[in-house]
């Protein structure tokens, strides 16, 4: 067992306090998110196969402006993180269409993409910590801590907080992210952190969760080029789960979002999610009118249509929209370009490995859309296959420009997951333990 700091009764009470605070702020929508229950037909985080299943989720228009930014969503999956129905690691199935995991999708094999630099960067960061800091952030490779993440700023987190360590140690942490992510992925992560600090200033300052330092590292297992391990980097609007086995990598679930999505922070103009927005529109506009009728369920968008957010690790989400089988080569290329925007946040070599996996299931990859289709419209889209699930959701404001409560591109949530047990590398770890031990 690793010597990590156990979650104390005080910490658990703090979590419950946060949930109660969010509940008071969000009312019924928050309760639905915490319990997995909803008064629409998407209860328990399940999306039905019909367009009419999309309920009027999201925060009430009178939600208090003081609630945590990025807070509870009403569509069943916006998520505040683990709540009353918390999934344990041992009970993890992953996202499925009907509760049944498809077998034989993943295997242990060589990718020929070295993880040596990643392992060295992780070890250098851990070696730079004090014994107390290291003890606070190291867990077993199959610890429940994997599943305890949230996009909400006030969530009670474990691990080493970036704002509490020295600049030298922070630089080692950023070096680890640099080894794990692509250049674009690192830039996006850092910019989300900066806009989180901007939101703190916009909200009046003196909010320790709305700073660049309110992000945490935890490690599951010990960095190794042969044995399974991983890390989690998490805070408001960022959750990166990174599992490593030999030269194989799984970087899901990865949540990225922001409110606002564009602002000037310390003289730097930052705009996020342009690529995600443009790639979705490009794919939709390349479809024929007949295809679009099957993809677009409604032009009326809810405040929050997210399904696979924090706390939704065993969500059942049916395929919706239109599968890519029979699409033209240009349309299929646009679909792959869209997926690559999200997969491309991980380091380039492993991103290509993942893209090959996605291409192998392209015929069974569904595209689904809710909302209008203008350049600045608020919309939701989902890409879903046996091996990848991507969501993009332009949501209602919670803490920025709240005088208008309609969804907009000022507040965007995104996620990428590996369905059928692939998230957190769970399926690979099971195979490793079965075959190598």
Q: What string of DSSP letters covers 80-148?
A: -SS-TTPPPGGG----BSSS-PPSSS------S---HHHHHHHHHHHHHS-HHHHHHHEE-TT-GGGG-
**What pLDDT, on the 0 to 100 scale, is given for residue 403?**
87
| Average confidence (pLDDT) over 286-296 | 98
| Average confidence (pLDDT) over 129-135 | 98
| Average confidence (pLDDT) over 204-213 | 94
Nearest to 70 by CA among 241, 274, 255, 271: 255
| Average confidence (pLDDT) over 177-191 | 98
103: tokens are 């077998």
* Confidence band, pLDDT 50/70/90 cuts, at residue 3: very low
pTM listed for this prediction = 0.86
**What pLDDT, on the 0 to 100 scale, is given for residue 214?**
98
The more confident residue out of 122 and 10 is 122
State the Rg of the chain over Cα.
20
* Confidence band, pLDDT 50/70/90 cuts, at residue 316: very high
**What pLDDT, on the 0 to 100 scale, is given for residue 81?**
64
| Average confidence (pLDDT) over 284-292 | 98
Instruction: Report whether pLDDT(232) > 60.
Output: yes
pLDDT digits (tens, 9 = 90+) for 336-391: 999 999 999 999 999 999 999 999 999 999 999 999 999 999 999 999 999 999 99
| Average confidence (pLDDT) over 120-148 | 97
With contact defined as beta carbons under 8 Å apart, do 186 and 173 qualify? no
**What pLDDT, on the 0 to 100 scale, is given for residue 86?**
76
Share of the chain above pLDDT 70, in %: 80
Instruction: Report whether pLDDT(419) > 70.
Output: yes
Cα distance between residue 245 and residue 317, in whole Å: 28
**What pLDDT, on the 0 to 100 scale, is given for residue 67?**
38
| Average confidence (pLDDT) over 172-195 | 98
The more confident residue out of 302 and 85 is 302
Instruction: Report whether pLDDT(401) > 80.
Output: yes
Q: Which of 63-67, 92-96, 324-328, 352-356 has the lowest mean pLDDT?
A: 63-67
| Average confidence (pLDDT) over 192-200 | 98
Instruction: Report whether pLDDT(79) > 80.
Output: no
The more confident residue out of 58 and 174 is 174
Instruction: Please list the helix, strand and coil fractions of the chain in percent, rounded to the nearest 5, in that order.
Output: 35, 15, 45
* Confidence band, pLDDT 50/70/90 cuts, at residue 297: very high
* Antiparallel, parallel or unpaired: β 215-220 and 229-235: antiparallel
| Average confidence (pLDDT) over 110-116 | 98
């Amino acid at each position: 067992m690793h010597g990590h700091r156990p979650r104390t009764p005080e910490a658990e009470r703090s979590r419950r306090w946060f949930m109660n605070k969010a509940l008071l702020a969000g009312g019924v929508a928050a309760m639905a998110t915490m319990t997995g229950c909803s008064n629409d037909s998407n209860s328990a985080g399940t999306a039905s196969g019909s367009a009419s299943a999309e309920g009027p989720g999201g925060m009430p228009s009178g939600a208090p402006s003081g609630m945590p930014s990025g807070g509870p969503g009403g569509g069943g999956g916006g998520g505040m993180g683990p709540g009353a129905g918390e999934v344990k690691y041992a009970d993890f199935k992953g996202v499925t269409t009907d509760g049944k995991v498809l077998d034989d999708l993943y295997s242990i094999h060589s990718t020929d993409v070295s993880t040596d630099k990643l392992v060295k960067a992780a070890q250098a960061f851990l070696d730079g910590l004090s014994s107390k800091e290291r003890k606070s952030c190291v867990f077993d490779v199959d610890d429940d801590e994997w599943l305890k993440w949230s996009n909400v700023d006030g969530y009670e987190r474990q691990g080493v907080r970036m704002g509490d360590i020295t600049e030298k140690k922070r630089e080692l942490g950023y070096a680890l992210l640099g080894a794990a992510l692509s250049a674009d992925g690192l830039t996006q992560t850092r910019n989300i952190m900066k806009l989180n600090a901007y939101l703190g200033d916009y909200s009046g300052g003196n909010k320790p969760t709305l700073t660049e330092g309110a992000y945490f590292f935890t490690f599951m297992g010990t960095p190794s080029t042969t044995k399974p391990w991983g890390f989690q980097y998490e805070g408001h609007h960022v959750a990166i789960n990174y599992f490593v086995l030999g030269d194989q990598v799984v970087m899901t679930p990865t949540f990225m979002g922001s409110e606002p999505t564009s602002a000037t922070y310390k003289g730097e103009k930052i705009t996020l999610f342009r690529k995600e927005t443009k790639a979705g529109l490009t794919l939709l506009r390349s479809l024929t009118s007949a295809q679009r009728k099957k993809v677009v369920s409604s032009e009326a968008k809810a405040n929050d249509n997210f399904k696979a957010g924090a706390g939704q690790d065993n969500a059942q989400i049916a395929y919706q929209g239109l599968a890519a089988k029979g699409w033209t080569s240009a349309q299929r290329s646009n679909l792959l370009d869209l997926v690559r925007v999200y997969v491309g946040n991980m380091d380039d070599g492993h991103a290509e490995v993942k893209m090959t996996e996605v291409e192998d299931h392209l015929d069974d990859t569904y595209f689904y859309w809710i909302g209008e289709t203008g350049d600045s419209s608020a919309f939701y889209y989902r890409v879903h296959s046996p091996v990848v699930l991507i969501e993009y959701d332009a949501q209602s404001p919670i803490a920025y420009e709240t005088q208008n409560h309609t969804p907009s591109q000022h507040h965007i949530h995104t996620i990428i997951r590996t369905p059928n047990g692939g998230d957190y590398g769970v399926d690979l770890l099971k195979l490793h333990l079965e075959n190598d031990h």
